[in-house]
Structure 1
Amino acid sequence: MFRLADAAGVSKLLLAGTTPTPPQPGIRKTARSTERSVPYEVVKDPVAYLARSRQSGALILALEITDQSTSLFDLDLPEPDREIVLLAGSESTGIAGELLALCDAAVHLPMYGQNTSMNVTVALGAAVYLILMKVQ
């Protein structure tokens, strides 16, 4: 995620739940030292963080396939300069319901194969670049 954030010019990574945080040795190796240059915040209370973000006007998107989720191919961003908070959940459990309830929308990547999910980091990479296409 640090390398993705660096490559895409993401303003900040939010690390919550069971997400590993620096200075764990595995992060430095996989991040190729981008954990030193990409701003990040360890969020202890994601519900409170999302509530504050929503109050400050951020668009909060959950990267999650739901009955009401919108394909990222079809997503319209009404205000391209608006801050976007993109949530990704655990590969096994997804995004908690209490967090989904605070999101403005759930978005997904179209799945054309037999599987209905992909690696979180791969999905984030595709989602971040699709969103970048829409805001530039």
Structure 2
Amino acid sequence: MRKLRTIEMHRLSVEQFKEAHKLPLIVVLDDVRSLYNVGSVFRCGDAFRVEGVYLCGITACPPNAEIHKTALGGEDSVDWRYFENTEDAVRELHDKGFFVWSVEQVEHSTKLQNIQSMLSQMSTDDAHAHEGYAIILGNEVKGVKQTVVDMSDGCLEIPQFGTKHSLNVSTTAGIVIWEFAKAFLTE
């Protein structure tokens, strides 16, 4: 096997990306403090063509050299918005008809391995049709704020089997966005 050269991968230009069909998913960052995590979320969002990223609270915004270090231009292709507080972002998403999940360990959470069947059921049930979906990822230490969890339509949890109780924000983003991509992307 031979590794492909970049030119052989036929990646989209930023302009083509902006016009391309998107995964109906918005990633919301609730007080994420690490600029490298923010950049990684943009890069992952670019890889799977998410609809957008909402940056909330203390979460830094582009342009920023440290965000760019891990985003590698994803901050230019993926649409983003800033909200002073996450609750305003959630209200807007609900007003637009989005189903909003916090990614957090809570009572009665939906285990991530069950999301495929849930999304399939939601997309075929007209009574529960949504314009899109949003996932909220929280602060590296405190997680998603309880007020934001309370506003969410549900919570997703990634099952873990080791000694640690959580994953890094950027790792979590990649895992959860991939599950949505499997359900929606056909190319």
Give the TM-score, by structure 1 length: 0.92
How many residues are matched? 136
1:91 aligns with 2:140: yes
Q: What is aligned with 2:62?
A: 22
With 47-56 and 35-44 compared, the bigger mean Cα shift is at 47-56
Contact 1:72 1:131 in 2 (8 A): no
Amino acid at match of 1:55: D
In structure 2, list runs of 5 or more residues that go unmatched.
Answer: 1-40, 125-129
Does residue 128 of the first structure (1) align with residue 177 of the second (2)?
A: yes
Q: Does 1:49 align with 2:89?
A: yes
The one-letter amino acid of 2:175's match is A
Q: How far apart are residue 134 of structure 1 and its match?
A: 2.7
Q: Which aligned segments of 4 or more residues in structure 1 are displaced greater than 4 angstroms?
A: none
**Partner SS for 2:155:** strand
Please give the alpha-carbon distance, in whole angstroms, between the structure 1 residues aligned to 2:92 and 2:54. Answer: 14
Larger Rg: 2
Map of 1:116 onto structure 2? 165
Give unmatched runs, 5+ long, in structure 1: none
Q: Percent identity?
A: 24
- Which structure has greater helix proportion? 2
Equivalence for 2:78: 38
- Contact 1:59/1:83 (<8 A) preserved: yes
For the 8 Å contact 1:64–1:95, the answer to whether it is kept is yes
